[in-house]
Structure formats: structure tokens, C-alpha cells
Amino acid sequence: MVDAAASPAPTDAAAPAPDARQTIALVDDDRNILTTVSIGLQAEGFATRVYSDGATALKALLENPPDLAVCDIKMPRMDGLALLQKLREKSALPVIFLTSKDEEPDEALGLALGADDYITKPFSQRLLIARIRAILRRSELVRSEVEAPPHDSQPDAIRRGRLLMDPARHAVTWDGKPVSLTVTEFLILETLALRPGVIKTRNQLMDAAYNDDVFVDDRTIDSHIKRLRRKFRAADPDFGAIETLYGAGYSFADG
């Protein structure tokens, strides 16, 4: 249930919003939610695309990425968790999960797999729109800029040894090779790289990566760290800049 009036269900296509600057994909098998949320987002100036199953959505999200996806967990053909797992193999697209109150284990798994946030049903559209705007502000995923290489001349660029991060473009390279990170992964790495050699606890990394009202456990942060290492090792098999101090947390080795 959402706080907007229902109207005829939209089709699995882009809704007309010629003046929208950002596009939100909605993935849910509940046609009422697709309709009401789509109407609410269009009223806020977003363009929307809607999909009623995970398999159809996955193909569309990879072929024509929106700026952010809002995805239900329980769906036919491919559930939201499977969709996210396959999406993360090829894309850092920001994802917000919609979950039911009895799906807490799924919430934790979704965050561990790389979801950027989750909202529990029934929800307020005002809350959803606020979360969407917050993630879009954090990510600044303008695709033409993300694909461009970062430059040292950028005033906010962070260089640590072979790592170069450009927050303005949400871009990361290692030895000049691009590394695609999700919003959450980027924020965790940025927190570590800003103070190389300083140990950051899991709680500190949670605070940096998530909104105050999103609760994650230690295993979620550990999962993000594992994915970060895996992505950097794809660019450099000898990557070891993210160090673990068991029982304390993580640090970035500047060298």
C-alpha cells in the first residue's frame, strides 16, 4: 500500500516525462504499486519505466540503464535477489529494495549483495522519493561523466598510490584501469582512502555508507569489502591495499 491514488496500470515501457532529468525503473509484480509509484515519481519530475517480473527487468536494466531501480524482492520468473545478483555482475546501478516486514533475512542478504537501501511495505511515497533523491545525490550517476576517466585536476580527486577516485564523477581507477563500484562500495572505499593507515571500524563504515535509518550488521560490511577486493583484483591480481585488522576493522594501505 502506498499513499497515492490508483490509476490504470502502466505498461512495461518508459512513461512520458519529456522534462525529466533522471529515470527511475520500477520492478514489482503488484500492478497497483507500479501505477501509484510511477504517478508519484512523474509528479516529482522523474521519468519512469515499469517491469512486472525480474527476468524482463534484468534485460532492460542492462541494455538501457536508468539512473536508479526500485525493486520488489518477491516476484515471478526471477526474484529481486536473483535480479540484483545478476545485475551486479555487470552494473553498479543504484538499487532500492521494497520488502515486507517478514523479510528481514532477505533485507540483510539484499544489502550484502549490493543493494543501496531498502524500504519496508507498506511505505510512504514521500519516504521513497526522499530515499531516491538521497541516493541520486550521493551517486551523481551521470553516465557520460561516469564513463570519462578521472583527472588529477579535479579539486576533489583522491589519489592514494595507484588508486584515483573522482567523487564528482563517481569514477575510480587503479593503475589507470577503471573499476566500477556501487554507491555503497564507493563510499566505503572513500572513507578508507581519505585516511590511509587509519583503522575504520565496521560501525564507522556503516555510518559512512548508509542512511541513519538503515540498519545493517557486520557481515554486510564484510560482504562489501570482499566485493571491493574482488573488483580490484580483476584489475590487479596482486591488489592488497584494503587491509583487515581482525576484531577491529579495515584500513587502506597508501603505497
Q: What's the pLDDT tens digit per position in 7-45?
A: 334 444 444 444 447 999 999 999 999 999 999 999 999
Domain residues for the domain of 39 are 23-139
Say what the pLDDT of residue 181 is.
85
100 band by pLDDT with thresholds 50, 70 and 90? confident
Is the same domain home to 152 and 122? no
Say what the pLDDT of residue 77 is.
84
Closest alpha carbon to 37 in 98, 87, 80: 98
- Whether 78 shows a pLDDT value over 70: the answer reads yes
Whether residue 14 is contained in a domain is answered as no
Q: How many helices (H) and strands (E) does the chain have?
A: 9, 11
Taking residues 211-227, report their average pLDDT. 73
Considering its fold, how many domains does the chain have in total? Answer: 2
Whether residue 119 is contained in a domain is answered as yes
Q: What is the pLDDT of residues 157-204, one digit of tens each?
A: 889 999 999 887 778 999 999 998 888 888 899 999 999 999 999 889
Looking at 106, 139, 172, the residue that finishes a domain is 139
Taking residues 134-154, report their average pLDDT. 55
Is the same domain home to 95 and 35? yes
Rounded to a whole number, what is the distance in angstroms from the first to the last CA of the chain?
52
Say what the pLDDT of residue 203 is.
87
Residues sharing a CB contact under 8 Å with residue 20, sequence separation 6 or more, in sequence order: 42, 45, 46, 47
Instruction: State the CB neighbour count (10 A cutoff) for residue 90.
Output: 12
Is the same domain home to 160 and 61? no
23 vs 232: CA distance, rounded Å: 29
52 vs 243: CA distance, rounded Å: 42
88 vs 65: CA distance, rounded Å: 13
Which H or E run includes 176? none
Is the same domain home to 127 and 191? no
Q: What is the mean pLDDT of the chain?
A: 81
Q: What is the pLDDT of residues 103-136, one digit of tens each?
A: 666 667 777 777 888 888 888 888 899 888 878 8
